[in-house]
Amino acid sequence: MSVLPTRYTELVGIEHPIIQEGMGPFKTVALAAAVSNAGGMGTISMPGMSQEPSEGAAIMRSHISACAELTDKPFAVNVPVGADDNGKVLPITEAYINAVIAAREADSKVGQQLKVLTTSAGFPGAFASRIKDAGLIHQHKVGSTRQAIKAEEAGADVIIASGYEMGGHTHHSPVHTFVLLPNVTAAVSVPVLLSGGARDGRTLAAALALGASGVAMGTRFIASADNTDWHPSVAQFIVDAREGDDVVFPGVYGPARGLRTAATDRLLEIVANGEMTIDELTEWKDHALQLAQSTGDFEKGLVAAGQVASGIQDVVDAATFVPQMAREASEVLQELVRGLVPTSTVGV
Ligand SMILES: Cc1cc2nc3c(=O)[nH]c(=O)nc-3n(C[C@H](O)[C@H](O)[C@H](O)COP(=O)(O)O)c2cc1C
C-alpha cells in the first residue's frame, strides 16, 4: 500500500512518487531496475547523441530488454530531442523514439512495463501524437513556465519542472526550482514532477507542498550501490562534494552543471582561448565525461552532477531508500499539520 499516493503514482501505476531520471550518455539499466523494483520509476538513459542512429537504437533496445529482465515493474526511457543548426530534429532522436515504440511492440512484457517516455532538451511537438498513439505516457522536461504550457498544449501527459541547480545539461535562463515549480504547477493542469535539488523525504514533502505530484532525481541516485554500471568512486565523489564545488560549463547542447575538477578548469580555458573547433571540443567533452564515469579519473574526467551533491552524505540502496523517502515525506507532512497553531488561537 502506498503511503503517499499522488496523481502521478495513479497515472503510471507505481507505489512511490519517486523517479530516477535519465542520465545519458551513461548506462543506467541496473539502477533503473532497482528503483522500479523499490516501487519508484526507473529510467533507461539514451546511449549518446552523436552515434550513428541505427547503432544507437540497437544499444537502446538492448538496454530496454536488459531492464525488463531485471524487473517486472513499470519503467521509463529518456530521449532528448536534439536539433541541428536549422532547427531540424536530429535523426538520432527519431531513431530512439522509434526504438522505444518497436521494443514495446516486439515483446508484450516490455509493452506492459515500458509505460513512460520522457522527452527532454528540445520541443517534442513533432512526436507527441506518435508517442500517445503507441500507448505511452509522455513526460516532458522543461526549464521555464512558457515551455511547460507549450508542452501541455502539444499533448504532454506529465511535465517535469527542472530548476537551474540540476545536474547535467541545465538551462540558458537560470530559474531555480523554488521559483519554477510553483509557477509551473499554477500554469498547467497535468501532473508536474520537481527535478533539480531533490534528495530526501523533506524535499519530496516540499515539492508536494508546491503542487508537484512527485520528484525526479539524478544526482541522488548516482550515489547508489545499485548504480553498478558506473565506477564506484563516482558515488564517493558525490558524497565528498560540498557547497560551491559545482560549476556550470559549456555542455554538448547548452550549459551543463558538474563538479569542479582539473578537467572543468581546463575546459573553461580551452573555450576562453578558442583552442579547439566545435567538433574537437565535443569529442574532448564526450571523452572526459566517459573517463570519469567509467574509470573514476577526476583529473582528466568531467563529472556531471547537481548542486544537491553538497547535501548527499551517503551511498544508498534503492530497496531501502525509496520507500523510506516516501515514509519520511509522509511523516514530515503530518508533523507540519500537527505542529500548526490552530487558527482560532492566532492573535489571542
Ligand atoms: C550525469 C548526468 C547525466 C544526465 N543526462 C541526462 C540526459 O541524458 N537526459 C536528460 O534529460 N537529463 C539528463 N540529466 C539530468 C537529469 O535527468 C535530471 O534532470 C537532473 O539530474 C535532476 O537534478 P538533480 O541532479 O539535482 O537531481 C543528467 C544528469 C546527470 C547528473
> What is the atom index within ligand 1 of the atom nearest the CA of 120?
11
Examine the domain organization and report whether 202 and 238 are in the same domain. Answer: no
Together in a domain, 48 and 129: yes
pLDDT at 214: 98
Strands 255-259 and 246-250: antiparallel
- Do residues 201 and 237 share a domain? no
Q: What is the CATH number of the domain that holds 211?
A: 3.20.20.70
Average pLDDT rounded to a whole number, residues 166-191: 96
313 part of a folded domain: no
Say whether both 114 and 198 belong to one domain. Answer: yes
Nearest-angstrom CA–CA distance, 32 and 34:
5
Mean pLDDT of the region 75-80: 97
Q: Please tell me whether residues 90 and 200 are part of one structural domain.
A: yes
pLDDT-derived band at 348 (thresholds 50, 70, 90) equals very low
Query: The cell 520537481 sits on which residue?
Result: 194
Q: Say if residues 28 and 42 touch (Cβ distance below 8 Å).
A: yes
Q: Is 162 in the pocket of ligand 1 (CB under 6 A)?
A: yes
Query: Shortest CA distance to 165 belongs to which of 156, 178, 183?
Result: 178
Q: Which residues pair with 139 in a beta bridge?
A: 118, 158
Pick the closest to residue 46 from 111, 12, 90 (CA basis): 90
190 domain residue, yes or no: yes
Query: For the residues 317-343, what does the mean pLDDT come to?
Result: 91
Report the number of distinct structural domains present in the chain.
2
Q: Are residues 242 and 160 in the same domain?
A: no
Containing structural domain, residue 201: 7-230+318-329
Phi, psi of 312 (to 5 degrees): -95, 120
- Report which protein residue has its CA nearest ligand 1's atom 1: 304
Residues 244 and 125 in one domain: no
Query: With the C-alpha atoms ordered 172, 178, 183, 184, is the resulting torsion angle positive or negative?
Result: positive
Instruction: For 63-74, write each residue's pLDDT tens digit.
Output: 999 999 999 999
- Per residue in 105-155, pLDDT (tens digit) is 999 999 999 999 999 999 999 999 999 999 999 999 999 999 999 999 999
42 pocket-lining for ligand 1 (C-beta < 6 Å): no
Which of 239-243, 258-262, 297-301, 344-348 is predicted least confidently?
344-348
Specify whether 223 is located in the same domain as 263: no
Q: What is the largest CA-CA distance in the chain?
A: 71
Same domain (yes/no): 162, 239: no
- Any atom of ligand 1 within 6 Å of the Cβ of 196: yes
**For ligand 1, is residue 166 a contact (CB within 6 Å)?**
yes
Same domain, 121 and 27: yes
Closest atom of ligand 1 to 218 CA is: 21
pLDDT at 195 over 80: yes
135-149, 231-245, 267-281, 311-325: least confident range: 267-281
Torsion of CA 180, 206, 24, 277, to 10 degrees: 40
